[in-house]
Structure 1
Amino acid sequence: MQKPSSDSPVHRRFAPTVLMFGNFVTGSSILAPAGMLIELSSDLGITVHTAGLLVTFGAMVLCIGSPLTAWLTSRIERRTLLAVTLAVLALGNALSAFAPGYTTLLLIRLVMLAVGALYTPQAAGTAALIVPAEKRGGTIAYVFLGWSLAAAVGLPLITFMASRYGWRAAFGGISVLGALSFLLLIWRLPAGLVGAPVDLKTWADLARNRVIVVLLVITTLLMSGQFAVFTYMGPLLSRLTQVGSDAVGLVFAIYGVCGFIGIVIVSSVVDSWGPLKTSMLCVAFVLAGISGWALSAGFYPLMACSAAIWGLGFASSNSMQQVRLVAAAPELASASVSLNTSFLYVGQAIGSGLGGLLYAHDLLRGIGYAGTAFVALALTTVILTRRFSVAKS
């Protein structure tokens, strides 16, 4: 990897915040349909399950696009690459706001996300280039904070705007934020950052690294369990508890705020606790929250409390996966983080597909139990990785 000199602008403290804000835009763009399924269903004349396929098919494109684009773009300077990605996200959301129908909206999102797959893994890899090795874990966790903010602020705002002004206004709002993020990144992220080139040998090296393989399995299980529930959280709350859009938005906000709190705490303790112990705690929160959701289905206050517990581990568990991958093979960080993002989207596709199938067959309470099973397997696997010498554990 090439790094600018120590007196370069790369050491400005604002650079990680710019990367984090880009993750907020990326996360909001990817998660947006989950906050407006009911409005999309009503306005476009489709079922909630069909509207949910915007998440499922989008995740399928993302899981293929992340490693493919990492390979094709590994030699491109990072500021240019990330800026172009944010510009495409801004344009894609603007076009989504004017989509005449469901098919057009789906096609626009698939093209947009094929490019958007670049941002999260490349932002993590860029973060590793701009700080000393001893601060890498906390910085990567901080950059991933954008995803927590997408859940804490983005989704509640999307739900509010979609319920008040329509889903088109919500996509338009995300587009404006994407344009702002693009300008900030051009302004503050220094030029000259280039990661290690990714080639076929890189993927072969990753496949031979058993620690990385196990970590990718954990990512898939963890995201499958969460997105079985998360994709349909709004409609599930509406049908199981008979609450309105404001109450649904409140749960999204509680979930996201707790996610923000969780990742802030993790960012401050991971360098002293070590990624393994921190990861175990984060995944335990996710399991406790989803289990509580399943057991309390139909009782709004307990479902909201469960979402809060779940939120504490949502984004922080993902950031710990990134940190552990970087620690497992620093020289392969750009490729491994990209591949992890791909498996993250594999999990999203599996989970949202399973959740949609159960929702379509009116097995609403079963969705929570299916999610719990996946996350329990993820936690078991995390515990088993204690035998591996990965980072500080």
Structure 2
Amino acid sequence: MKSAPAAGRFAPTALMLGNLVTGCSVLAPAGMLPELSAGLGISIHAAGLLITFGAVTLCVGSPLTAWLTSRIERRILLATTLAVLALGNLASALAPDYTSLLIIRLAMLAVGSLYTPQAAGTAALIVPAERRGSTIAYLFLGWSLAAAVGLPLITFIASRYGWRAAYGGVGALGCVSLLLLLLRLPAGLQGAPVDLKTWAAVGRSRTILLLLAITMLQMSGQFVVFTYMGPLLNKLTGAGPDAIGSVFALYGVCGFLGVVVATRIVDTAGPYRTSLLFTCLLLAGMSGWALGAGSLVMMAGAVAIWGLGFASTNSMQQVRLVAAAPPLASATVALNTSVLYIGQAVGSAVGGLLFARELLHALGFVAVGFVVLALILVVVTRPGGRLPPPPERSRSCAQGAWQTSRGSGRRPAWGSKRVD
């Protein structure tokens, strides 16, 4: 695997801003469900299916595109992906009807599924081994910013200027991010090729499979509520667009703070302890939402606690997977993103069924159930447990995957008994 001798200045920031565009592209419908419903003449549940069907496309596309594009130079691959996201959002702004909007969204996300896992893999190529954990966590600030800044702005713009203007804004942001990536990301970066042996090795590792299950359960629990959070706040508390936008902003700001804290403590506390801490915060926030349903103050407070864990838990999952089997990182990070989107699809589908049946209070308790299961698996995968290490691959593959860190003097975590 070829690596750059040194990262371009602000290269991690350029990658992080690409995640901001990706996050806004994926989450945008959640911030303007009422406007999409009114503008396209569909129900809120049907508008929510933009997220559900999009998540299905993402979960299939992430591992498939990782396999098909693993030999493409990273800057070309990531820039092309951002270009598709930018053009897809601009085309969405011009969609004449719901069917056209759905088709554009699915085509856009089929390619957009590449960005987050490949950005994480690229970050591992441009920073020293001892900074990989914090850099990967930093990249997920983009998703936090998508919730902290992107969703409130989408809600604000859509409620005043319409959903087309909101999509246009995301498309313009994508163009800016594309330009920065082209200017700052070093050329010549090559990831480890992903072949059928890679997927077979992943499938034989119980450790990796359990870590992937944690991601799916965490995301399923969140998207039971998150997909319909705006309409839920309106129906349960009477909140208007500005209040809903403020809650989205609170969620995202706390998510941003959570990732900042996770980034600072992960290299000393370790990914497992950091993951355990933020999964507990996630559970506390979801429980507060379920128990406080009907009170805007209590629900907003619960969203703040929930927000601390929403992006940081997933960034820790990425770090734990990379540490568990570095030679398999290209595949496991892509699979983690895939199961993340499976979780989005499952959660949004379950939430949609409950919302359509007016079981508004039940959404919170179902979400709590998913997160409880995730927490149990986090504990099961603690370091020093009895889980077997991931299967070994060839020595040449291992050496290639670790050539970027040979000078660090640190022993690779792959093949050890520790999960973190």
**TM-score (structure 1 length as normaliser):** 0.98
Q: Which residue of 2 aligns with 1:209?
A: 205
Shift of 1:132: 0.8
Q: Which residue of 1 aligns with 2:407?
A: none
Q: Which residue of 1 aligns with 2:223?
A: 227
Shift of 1:13: 3.7
8 A contact 1:20–1:145 mirrored in 2: yes
8 A contact 2:7–2:185 mirrored in 1: no
**Given the alignment of the two structures, is residue 172 of structure 1 paired with residue 168 of structure 2, yes or no?**
yes
CA–CA distance in structure 1, aligned partners of residues 70 and 254 of structure 2: 35
CA–CA distance in structure 2, aligned partners of residues 199 and 229 of structure 1: 37
- The count of residues paired between Structure 1 and Structure 2 equals 389
CA–CA distance in structure 2, aligned partners of residues 390 and 50 of structure 1: 47
Shift of 1:361: 0.4
Superposition CA RMSD, Å: 0.9
8 A contact 1:25–1:174 mirrored in 2: yes
Which consecutive unaligned segments of at least 5 residues does structure 1 have?
none
Q: Which residue of 2 aligns with 1:4?
A: 4
CA–CA distance in structure 2, aligned partners of residues 140 and 86 of structure 1: 19
Q: Which residue of 1 aligns with 2:411?
A: none
Q: Which residue of 2 aligns with 1:137?
A: 133
- Secondary structure, aligned partner of 1:157: helix
**Given the alignment of the two structures, is residue 162 of structure 1 paired with residue 168 of structure 2, yes or no?**
no
Among candidates 264, 272, 277, match of residue 273 of structure 2: 277
CA–CA distance in structure 2, aligned partners of residues 365 and 244 of structure 1: 19
8 A contact 1:145–1:263 mirrored in 2: yes
Among candidates 234, 244, 250, match of residue 238 of structure 1: 234
Runs of 4+ residues over 3 Å off in structure 1: 388-393
CA–CA distance in structure 2, aligned partners of residues 128 and 277 of structure 1: 21
Within 5 A, what are the aligned runs for 1:178-189? 178-189=174-185
Shift of 1:43: 1.1
Within 5 A, what are the aligned runs for 1:183-198? 183-198=179-194
Which consecutive unaligned segments of at least 5 residues does structure 2 have?
388-415
CA–CA distance in structure 2, aligned partners of residues 286 and 298 of structure 1: 20
8 A contact 1:279–1:317 mirrored in 2: yes
- Secondary structure, aligned partner of 1:265: helix
**Given the alignment of the two structures, is residue 303 of structure 1 paired with residue 303 of structure 2, yes or no?**
no
8 A contact 2:289–2:298 mirrored in 1: yes
8 A contact 2:8–2:186 mirrored in 1: no
CA–CA distance in structure 2, aligned partners of residues 13 and 187 of structure 1: 10
CA–CA distance in structure 2, aligned partners of residues 176 and 243 of structure 1: 30
**Which residue type is aligned with residue 21 of structure 2?**
V
CA–CA distance in structure 2, aligned partners of residues 350 and 383 of structure 1: 23
8 A contact 2:157–2:166 mirrored in 1: yes
CA–CA distance in structure 2, aligned partners of residues 169 and 210 of structure 1: 46
- Secondary structure, aligned partner of 1:76: coil
8 A contact 1:324–1:390 mirrored in 2: no
Q: Which residue of 2 aligns with 1:126?
A: 122
The answer to which structure has the higher helix fraction is 1
**Given the alignment of the two structures, is residue 112 of structure 1 paired with residue 136 of structure 2, yes or no?**
no
8 A contact 1:273–1:392 mirrored in 2: no
8 A contact 1:36–1:162 mirrored in 2: yes
Among candidates 102, 105, 109, match of residue 98 of structure 2: 102
CA–CA distance in structure 2, aligned partners of residues 390 and 220 of structure 1: 24
Instruction: Give me the identity figure in percent.
Output: 69
**Given the alignment of the two structures, is residue 357 of structure 1 paired with residue 347 of structure 2, yes or no?**
no
CA–CA distance in structure 2, aligned partners of residues 314 and 354 of structure 1: 19
**Which residue type is aligned with residue 47 of structure 1?**
S
8 A contact 2:54–2:105 mirrored in 1: yes
CA–CA distance in structure 2, aligned partners of residues 160 and 77 of structure 1: 38
- Secondary structure, aligned partner of 2:148: helix
Q: 1:391 to 1:270 in 2, by over 3 A?
A: farther
**Which residue type is aligned with residue 76 of structure 1?**
I
Could you report, residue by residue, the CA deviation over 1:272-313 in whole angstroms, capped at 9, with x for unpaired residues? Answer: 000000000111111000110010001000000000000000
8 A contact 1:195–1:334 mirrored in 2: yes
Could you report, residue by residue, the CA deviation over 1:326-374 in whole angstroms, capped at 9, with x for unpaired residues? Answer: 0011011111100100000000000000000000000011001100000
Shift of 1:210: 1.3
Shift of 1:12: 3.2
8 A contact 1:275–1:391 mirrored in 2: no
- Secondary structure, aligned partner of 1:180: helix
8 A contact 1:228–1:371 mirrored in 2: yes
- Secondary structure, aligned partner of 2:340: helix
8 A contact 1:141–1:320 mirrored in 2: yes
CA–CA distance in structure 1, aligned partners of residues 215 and 361 of structure 2: 24
- Secondary structure, aligned partner of 2:381: helix
Shift of 1:245: 0.3
CA–CA distance in structure 2, aligned partners of residues 392 and 260 of structure 1: 26
Q: Which residue of 2 aligns with 1:41?
A: 37
**Given the alignment of the two structures, is residue 151 of structure 1 paired with residue 147 of structure 2, yes or no?**
yes
CA–CA distance in structure 2, aligned partners of residues 138 and 290 of structure 1: 26
Shift of 1:11: 2.3
CA–CA distance in structure 1, aligned partners of residues 4 and 95 of structure 2: 43
8 A contact 2:255–2:310 mirrored in 1: yes
**Given the alignment of the two structures, is residue 332 of structure 1 paired with residue 353 of structure 2, yes or no?**
no
- Secondary structure, aligned partner of 1:11: coil
Q: Which residue of 1 aligns with 2:12?
A: 16
**Given the alignment of the two structures, is residue 342 of structure 1 paired with residue 338 of structure 2, yes or no?**
yes
